Amino acid sequence: MGSVTYNFLADSLFFHKNSIQNNFVKESDERIEKELQDYRKHCIDNYEELIKEIVDRDSFLKVFSSSDETPINLLKQTSLYVDQFIIKDPLFNLTDIKSETNTVMAKYLGYQNNGKIDRSKLKKASSFLKDITPMIAGNYAKIFPLSYHFEAPKEIPLNLPTDYYNGVLPKEIMEFFWDNISVRSMEKLKSGDGWQVVEDKLYPCRGIVVDIKKTNLKSSMIYHLFEMEVLSLDEKTGIATFRQTLPDTVPDANHFNAWVTQSINSTSKHFFDGVFKENFISSNLNATYLCDNDFTSKLISQNYNIKETIQTETANRIINFDLPFLDNIDIDKLMTVREMDSEVFTNFRIELEKHFRELRILSDPKIIQQKTENIFHELNEVQVQKIKQKIDYINKQVFVNSVVGVGGLAGGFSTGGFSLLATALALGKGYKDYIDYKEKVKENPSYLLWKIRKK
């Protein structure tokens, strides 16, 4: 296997075919929980080895994605260009056990959690990891326990905000967040089982949800406005006892507005820190950071002073362009072509860079899209058809010359002449044609596309 994590998963409960198909219905929560914690321990104990596996692949065409879900079709598509694709481990994310404090607080707010394992999420994660096994074995895909760096503290921290957190980010960055923020009020359900969002409305209440637009709901944060009462304070030890309650009464408008401002600033800082941390991890893995939303892309480009290279721009074009012919491509076959025909893989990549280099001077999105479509049409349809015609021609030539050789051999038998030299020359001609095909046709960058599409 191409990953130390798969050394565990290969013989794990999570890779049992029947268990996955049956949604782990025959497995007890206790057994699943133990297996999850064993997997967590395995990943943490071998964390340095996981890092080494990734860093040892020396290439500037490595991609690190922080997206919670990475479609297999995207992995297929980028495999035409990217050397290595690092993705978030969806199974490790299920190993985080919430603290007792968090559980009690959630229950108090009405967010019910029966403590049972979400088997649907488990099945989805296991199926995905099992499906991409050939990509792991081919050293193309790597899974990384990214969620480990973003787990909530076991104890809820107590922060005393200064100036409603207005100064936690530089002014221009904070303004950028405020221009892209959405805040909505929340109402407690009459049943007591949680809260519901009031669409497109904000008014004084005890619960709000803060979203950053165009982030695929990745940034959503829920806040509740508690009332706090200090019960005791020991000035010598600095230990205080206080009580928090969530009354049904509506807060004062000024108090509410100040709280909303503080919540927006807090969300902005939390999101910014997360993106910074992800970029830091990506940099340590010698990979290019891949984001899955427009807001993060603009945040990085406007504030991180990153210059796009022809390689990263080409990768970006491929990621954002639909290649439907890859939908039914077998993963094993795709990985085999990458491994066995590495020079063809390189030729295709260089050809794409040459084409996309010419698009860098364009600014009209429609023209860029049209020219991108033309590039892939030329490579995937026109050139692939030419390769097919050339191969068909070569195969016919090899067959004809082989027949000539066998015919000459038969004539030799009947006449008693038996010319080995003539036979060798005839067969040799067919062999030469085949060698010419191997040398010339493989120079065409679209040979890679032809080979993975070949039935």
**Token reading at 435:** 């060698």
Is the distance from CB of 27 to CB of 19 less than 8 angstroms? yes
State the burial class of residue 43 (Cβ atoms within 10 Å of its Cβ: 0-12, 13-18, 19+).
Answer: buried
pTM of the model: 0.76
For residue 246, the one-letter residue type is L
Is the distance from CB of 54 to CB of 284 less than 8 angstroms? no
Please report, in tens digits, the pLDDT of each residue of the chain (455 residues total).
458 999 999 999 999 999 999 999 889 999 999 999 999 999 999 999 999 999 988 777 888 988 888 888 888 888 877 889 999 999 999 998 776 666 777 776 777 665 678 899 999 999 999 999 999 998 899 999 999 999 887 766 667 778 889 999 999 999 999 999 999 999 988 877 788 999 888 999 999 999 998 887 677 899 999 998 888 888 888 788 888 888 889 999 999 999 999 999 999 999 999 999 998 999 899 888 888 888 888 888 776 555 666 666 677 766 666 666 667 778 888 888 787 777 777 777 777 777 777 777 777 778 877 787 787 767 766 566 665 666 565 555 555 555 544 444 444 444 444 444 444 444 455 555 555 655 666 666 665 566 666 64
pLDDT at 12: 94
- CA dihedral of residues 297, 301, 306, 308 (deg, nearest 10): 70
**Token reading at 446:** 């679209």
Is the distance from CB of 387 to CB of 415 less than 8 angstroms? no
Is the distance from CB of 193 to CB of 112 less than 8 angstroms? yes
- Say if strands 181-188 and 141-144 run parallel, antiparallel, or are unpaired: unpaired
d(C-alpha 48, C-alpha 25), whole Å: 35
pLDDT at 230: 83
Angle at 122 between CA 116 and CA 123, to 5 degrees: 125
- C-alpha pair distances (Å), 110 with each of 44, 142, 243, 393: 33, 39, 18, 72
User: DSSP secondary structure string, 7-23?
Assistant: HHHTTSGGG-HHHHHTT
> Residue 270: helix, strand or coil by DSSP?
helix
At a CB cut-off of 8 Å and minimum separation 6, what does 328 contact?
none
Helix (H) or strand (E) holding 411: helix 383-415
Of 260, 253, 212, 222, residue with least CA distance to 110: 222
